[in-house]
Amino acid sequence: MMRQGPGSSFKKRTLEDLFRPPIDITFKGTFASAREAGTTLKKYVMVNVQNVKEFVCQALNRDVWSHDGVKAIVKDHFVFWQVYHDSEEGGKFKQFYRVEEYPYIAIIDPRTGENMVTWNRELDAMTFCDLVTQFLAEHPFSDDSFSESPPSKRTKREHSVVDLSEDDQIQAAIKASLEEPRKSVTYISDSDDDNSDDDDVETFSDTDNDSQSSPVKNSHSKNDSKIAVCSNSSGPSCSSKTETTESNENCKKCESNVIENGVSNSSSNSIIESYKKYIGKESDPQMSIMIRFPDGKRQQLTLSSQSKLMSKLMALVKYVAEQGYSNERYELLTNFPRKKLSYMDFDLTIQEAGLNAQESVFVQAR
């Protein structure tokens, strides 16, 4: 029986050292905590997804991450997060960012979750340093770069409500309500039944807590009636228990009009059809998104939450555009955590975009 000499053991240890993961520069924790660290340290998050079955992934450990120059630039400018593709965290990342090729290196803006750049080719240390240096020159991590707009196109604007604290947002909403006619967001049912009671029409108040009563409970949820419109309190209220016959008739007339933008009956129907192409199956469980517009108006949009063909981010973008806020001039954001939805892939589902039930989405000028 042959006995392995000391040379064989030395060779094995050498190979292990060659392909050893760069634990000295790797952030230890979840992707979410890596983003938090990046935001705090004002550094981008560099992600490397490793597939042990792909030699090009192992070669990164051997040729790139072990290089002293690479380590220096990564330590200075990035939170480096390496994850295996078949781990729980790796699976979540792959699903959200659609990892399809290896090697996989991506740079993520920790403030928004936006994938700034992806490299899927074999790299040596020098090429990697050149690519990273060019990226940092074009995308310096600063508060100014967070606007995502070219410097020549940036214009001074007032602070957006999304930049305010929750208390300041409430004060701004109160001030806006005093300066213009009172507005309420009303859930409109397509039913023409004259005997409808209080359950047939739901009115969402300006408080987020009140909005937790979902339109799913509406007895007409099976109909194509998932649209919220604003009505002035100076006119008849559709949800008032003391309505007269005349105000009931006026309420029916407003069902087919988006009053805030003066849209006609026919164009209102086209609005419903255009964004409804992306809201999934109506028979599925529903979720509500609160949309806050620059003028202080709020609207509740109801979307499918659990279908395989569940609502797309495109539904939200189109719905907002059809209220007069085009994607070219306005952007969509969430505050906690802060995400810029307008810079994501609109084919992502609402879940993949990181939106949850009762989420508040802000519309602000670019």
pLDDT beyond 90 at 263: no
Please report, rounded to a whole number, the percentage of residues in the chain having pLDDT higher than 70.
54
What local confidence, expressed as pLDDT, does residue 238 receive? Answer: 42
What local confidence, expressed as pLDDT, does residue 70 receive? Answer: 95
Name the least confident of 113-122, 142-151, 274-283, 322-331.
142-151
Average confidence (pLDDT) over 73-93: 94
SS3 35: helix
Q: How far apart are CA 354 and CA 281, in angstroms?
A: 20
Q: How far apart are CA 176 and CA 174, in angstroms?
A: 5
Average confidence (pLDDT) over 101-105: 94
Name the least confident of 8-12, 83-87, 237-241.
237-241
Strand ranges of the sheet holding 203-204, from the earlier edge strand across to the other edge? 203-204, 183-187, 228-232
Q: Which two tokens stand for residue 330?
A: 């306005």
pLDDT beyond 60 at 79: yes
Q: Which residues contact 308 (CB under 8 A, 6 or more apart)?
A: none
What local confidence, expressed as pLDDT, does residue 15 receive? Answer: 64
Question: What are 264-283's pLDDT values in tens digits?
Answer: 444 444 444 576 667 666 66
Q: Which residues contact 111 (CB under 8 A, 6 or more apart)?
A: 39, 146, 338
Helix axes 68-77, 125-138, angle to 10 degrees: 20
Mean pLDDT (the chain) is 70
Question: What are 146-200's pLDDT values in tens digits?
Answer: 544 444 343 344 445 555 555 666 666 666 555 544 444 444 444 444 444 444 4
pLDDT beyond 70 at 19: yes
Average confidence (pLDDT) over 22-46: 95
What local confidence, expressed as pLDDT, does residue 259 receive? Answer: 38
201 or 60: whose pLDDT is higher?
A: 60
Average confidence (pLDDT) over 335-339: 70
Domains of the chain: residue spans and CATH: 17-147 (3.40.30.10), 161-365 (3.10.20.90)
Q: How far apart are CA 104 and CA 100, in angstroms?
A: 8
pLDDT beyond 60 at 245: no
Question: What are 270-323's pLDDT values in tens digits?
Answer: 444 576 667 666 666 777 788 888 887 888 888 776 544 556 778 778 888 888
pLDDT beyond 80 at 121: yes
H helices of 255-312, in order, are 265-276
Beta pairing partners, 224: none
Cα pseudo-dihedral 158, 164, 169, 172, rounded to 10: -30
Does 337 sit behind a cis peptide bond, omega within 30 degrees of 0 on the bond before it? yes
Q: How far apart are CA 243 and CA 124, in angstroms?
A: 74
Instruction: Provide the whole-model pTM.
Output: 0.40
What local confidence, expressed as pLDDT, does residue 341 receive? Answer: 82
